[in-house]
Structure 1
C-alpha cells in the first residue's frame, strides 16, 4: 500500500474524530448552559423566600406575637412555636392564644409572594422557561413536632413522645390549612419526638427549648411528573 492509499484510508478517521470532538463540545456547552439556568432559578427562589420572610416580619410588627417566632435559613422560612402556654398541659390541643396567632398567620399565607408568584403576568416567561426544562414550581408547608426526652406516663393515651409530637403538629397543620384555604396537597406533618433536639435535655430550660412545633415553608423548582 503506497502513501497515497494510506492517506486516503486514514482521512475519514480524522474527519470522524473532528465530528466527535465537536459533538462533545456541543454537549458540554449545553450542560453548562443548563446548569447556569438551574442556578439562576435557585437564586430566584431564594429571593422569593427572602421577600416572603420580610412580608411575615411586617405582619409580626403589627402586634406582639408571644407564641410564634420567625426564622429564615437554608431550609426555608420557619414559624416556631415554643411557649409553655402554646398547648394544653400534657396534651396536644392548641391554646386560645396560640390559635389566635396561628389564624392571623394562616390568613396571610395565600397573600405571600411564594404562593401568588405564579399569578404574576410579568413572570410568565420564567415559568414557561422552567416548564421547557421539565421543572414545576412547588411550595410546601411542613409542620414538624418535637418534644423533650421526658417519658410519657404509662397511663396516658398519648403512648410516647412520637405520638405527642405528631398530634401537636397535626392540630397545627389542620388549623393552618382550614384558615388559609390553601390546597391540602401543600401540607404535610412530621413527628420527631425527642430525636431532633436543639439543646441537650440536661436542664429544664433546655427541655423547654426542645418542646416546640415548627412550621417550615419551602419553595423550589422540581422535576415535573
Structure 2
C-alpha cells in the first residue's frame, strides 16, 4: 500500500512586500541622514535657545524671563517685520541718546536704560525720584523727567504708549507713613510720575498708564541692603507697538 505524501507546507517568513517596504524605509533613512549631514548646527545658538526656554519658566536665577544673549537677539531680529525692525532701531538710537545724557549728568549709576522684549525701559532707583517712604517727587527729579519727556515727543515715539511701574522692597513701611502698605506706596509713586508728565509737562494722557507692583516683582533677592535698594525702583516703559493691543483702544473709550 502506497504511503500518502504529506501535504506541502506553506512557505514561512515575512510576506514578499515587506522586502520592498524595508528597502524604501532604509533609503528614506539614508536621505534624512544626508540632509542632516549637510546642515550646520551652531552649538552656541542652540545653548542660548535652551537657556531662554529655561528662563521662561522661572528656572534662571532671580526669576529672569529670558537670558540676554547676542545669539538670541540676532535670531529674534531676523524674524521681525520691516516695521518692527525700524521700531527696534529707533529704540536703540534713543537708548544711546539717553545713556549719553545720563553720563553727562553723572546719573548713570541711578538711572539704568535697557532694551527688553517689552520695549525700552528707564529704571530709576527710588532715591532719584522720591525720598524714603514718600511718593512726592523731588525737585531734582522733576528736572530729569522734564528732560526725558522731550524724547517721548520725538516723531518716532510720539505714538508710543508708556507705562509707569512702581516697585518696593519687602521692608514694611514706618507707622508714621501715610501709606499703610507697599502696594499703596508703589501705586502712588507711579501715579504721581504720570500726573507730572501729563499735568506739568503736557504730554498726551491717553498714552500713559500707571501700575503698582509692591514688593512682588523683585529684580534681586531681598536679602541685603544693596539688593533691596535695587528693588525700590520706578520703571518708565516705552512699550513696543505689538504690546499696545492690551491697552484700551480709542474706539472703545469713545463708546
What is the TM-score with the length of structure 1 in the denominator? 0.65
Give the counterpart of 2:99 among 38, 53, 57. Answer: 57
Give the counterpart of 2:230 among 209, 221, 224. Answer: 209
What is the TM-score with the length of structure 2 in the denominator? 0.58
Q: Helix, strand or coil: the match of 2:222?
A: coil
C-alpha distance 43-149 of structure 1, shift in aligned 2 (>3 A): same
In structure 2, the residue matched to 1:131 is none
Q: Which structure features the higher share of helix residues?
A: 1
Contact 1:93 1:168 in 2 (8 A): yes
Q: Is structure 2 residue 180 aligned with structure 1 residue 152?
A: no
Contact 1:80 1:215 in 2 (8 A): yes
C-alpha distance 44-208 of structure 1, shift in aligned 2 (>3 A): same
Q: CA deviation at 1:91?
A: 1.0
- 5+ residue gaps, structure 1, are 1-35, 116-137
In structure 2, the residue matched to 1:119 is none
Q: Which has the higher contact order (CA 8 A, sep 6+)?
A: 1
| Equivalent-residue separation in structure 2 for 1:72 and 1:114 (angstroms) | 15
In structure 2, the residue matched to 1:88 is 131
Q: CA deviation at 1:152?
A: 2.3
- 5+ residue gaps, structure 2, are 1-77
C-alpha distance 140-219 of structure 1, shift in aligned 2 (>3 A): same
In structure 2, the residue matched to 1:121 is none
The number of residue pairs the alignment matches comes to 168
Provide, for residues 61-105 of structure 1, a one-character-per-residue CA deviation record: whole Å limited to 9, x for no partner: 543336433222222111111153531222111222222211211
| Equivalent-residue separation in structure 1 for 2:103 and 2:177 (angstroms) | 40
C-alpha distance 89-113 of structure 1, shift in aligned 2 (>3 A): same
Provide, for residues 122-150 of structure 1, a one-character-per-residue CA deviation record: whole Å limited to 9, x for no partner: xxxxxxxxxxxxxxxx5111000000011
Q: Helix, strand or coil: the match of 2:161?
A: strand
Q: Is structure 2 residue 152 aligned with structure 1 residue 109?
A: yes
| Equivalent-residue separation in structure 1 for 2:142 and 2:207 (angstroms) | 20
Alignment of 1:12-161 (within 5 A): 39-65=81-107, 67-111=110-154, 113-115=156-158, 139-154=160-175, 156-161=177-182
Contact 1:148 1:211 in 2 (8 A): yes
Contact 1:52 1:113 in 2 (8 A): no
Larger Rg: 2
